[in-house]
């Protein structure tokens, strides 16, 4: 029993010495972890600072691009509300009739269905200048109607102020701006769309609407990536969505 007790004591001493070495290793690993944690925290802070600096550079570049080369702004029209005109001509008109006229004014028949648009008739959105605009309600039927009419009409086209030219130019500039923004923001666009898609040859109705849908999808994708307020966006408002994207009020622009 005494010899067995002695062996157990020796084994206990060995385990004790081994436990001390393990404790030293544990403390060393803990010190290393704390050191690495401090380093990771510092690197994370530096990375966050670099991200903020990069976002500010992107934001500055975008605001400069959209103020000098691609300015986007609302263009007011002189159209008066028919409810106001009617009420002036008939003092006995009821408020319900006035509200119905206002509601009818805000409703547009677009692509086989009625679409409610609060801005319809009030404004249009311009890009690169007040003379290149797009309808605010997203109705670009003037373009393919002109293309179909031109197919049946012989002779040169002498109508230089045709709205189809304005729509084509505005969409062409919008496509170029969107592709440039995707490079600046380092965001891959879901749809491939060339800058020359809307210029050059006259597009059929199917090809035109398909290209417009691609452009609207790319714009919405950029808006989502920059956390633009979803309540401001509309899937058919091409330039208005783009205007909200590059607005100085967009807090996350450049993220």
| Paired tokens of 196 | 């020359």
Asked if residue 198 belongs to a domain, the reply is yes
- Residue 125 sits at φ, ψ, to 5 deg, of -110, 130
The SS3 call for residue 42 is: helix
Q: How many domains does the chain have?
A: 1
* Residues spanned by the domain of 187: 121-246
pLDDT digits (tens, 9 = 90+) for 19-71: 999 999 999 999 999 999 999 999 999 999 999 999 999 999 999 999 999 99
- Tell me the average pLDDT across 3-31: 91
CA dihedral 242, 244, 249, 255 (to 10 degrees): -60
Pick from 247, 255, 250: nearest CA to 63? 247
| Cβ count near 233 (within 10 Å) | 16
Asked if residue 206 belongs to a domain, the reply is yes
Q: Which of 106-115, 127-136, 148-157 has the lowest mean pLDDT?
A: 106-115
| Paired tokens of 204 | 């059929």
- Residue 199 sits at φ, ψ, to 5 deg, of -120, 160
Partners of 127 in beta bridges: 72
Asked if residue 139 belongs to a domain, the reply is yes
> pTM for the complete prediction?
0.68
Q: Which of 53-67, 126-140, 227-241 has the lowest mean pLDDT?
A: 126-140
Instruction: Please tell me the total number of residues recorded for the chain in this structure.
Output: 255
pLDDT digits (tens, 9 = 90+) for 66-124: 999 999 888 876 544 444 444 444 554 556 675 666 566 555 554 455 555 544 445 78
Query: What distance in Å separates the CA atoms of residue 132 and residue 154, rounded to the nearest whole number?
Result: 27
Asked if residue 152 belongs to a domain, the reply is yes
Asked if residue 191 belongs to a domain, the reply is yes
Query: How much of the chain is helix, strand and coil, in % rounded to 5?
Result: 60, 10, 30
pLDDT of residue 108: 52
Asked if residue 252 belongs to a domain, the reply is no
Asked if residue 32 belongs to a domain, the reply is no
| Beta strand extents in the chain (DSSP E only) | 72-76, 107-110, 113-116, 123-127, 133-135
- Residue 196 sits at φ, ψ, to 5 deg, of -90, 10
- How high does pLDDT run on average in the chain? 81
Q: DSSP readout, 43-78?
A: HHHHHHHHHHHHHHHHHHHHHHHHHHTS-EEEEE--
Asked if residue 74 belongs to a domain, the reply is no
């Amino acid at each position: 029993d005494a010899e067995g007790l002695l062996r157990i004591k020796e084994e206990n001493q060995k385990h004790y010495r081994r436990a001390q070495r393990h404790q030293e290793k544990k403390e060393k690993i803990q010190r290393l972890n704390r050191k690495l944690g401090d380093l990771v925290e510092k690197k994370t802070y530096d990375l966050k600072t670099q991200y903020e600096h990069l976002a500010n550079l992107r934001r500055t570049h975008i605001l400069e691009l959209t103020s000098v080369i691609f300015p986007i702004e609302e263009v007011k029209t002189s159209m008066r509300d028919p409810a106001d005109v009617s009420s002036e001509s008939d003092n006995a008109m009821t408020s319900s009739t006035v509200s119905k006229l206002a509601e009818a004014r805000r409703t547009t028949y677009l692509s086989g269905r009625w679409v409610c648009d609060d801005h319809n008739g009030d404004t249009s959105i311009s890009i690169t200048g007040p003379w290149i605009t797009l309808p605010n309600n997203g109705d670009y039927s003037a373009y393919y109607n002109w293309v179909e009419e031109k197919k049946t009409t012989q002779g040169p086209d002498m109508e230089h102020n045709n709205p189809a030219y304005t729509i084509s130019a505005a969409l062409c500039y919008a496509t170029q701006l969107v592709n440039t923004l995707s490079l600046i923001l380092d965001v891959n666009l879901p749809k491939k769309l060339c800058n020359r898609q809307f210029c050059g040859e006259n597009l059929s109705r199917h090809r035109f609407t398909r290209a417009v849908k691609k452009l609207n999808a790319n714009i919405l994708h950029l808006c989502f990536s920059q956390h633009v307020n979803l309540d401001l966006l509309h899937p058919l408002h091409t330039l208005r969505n783009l205007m909200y994207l590059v607005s100085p009020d967009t807090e996350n622009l450049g993220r």
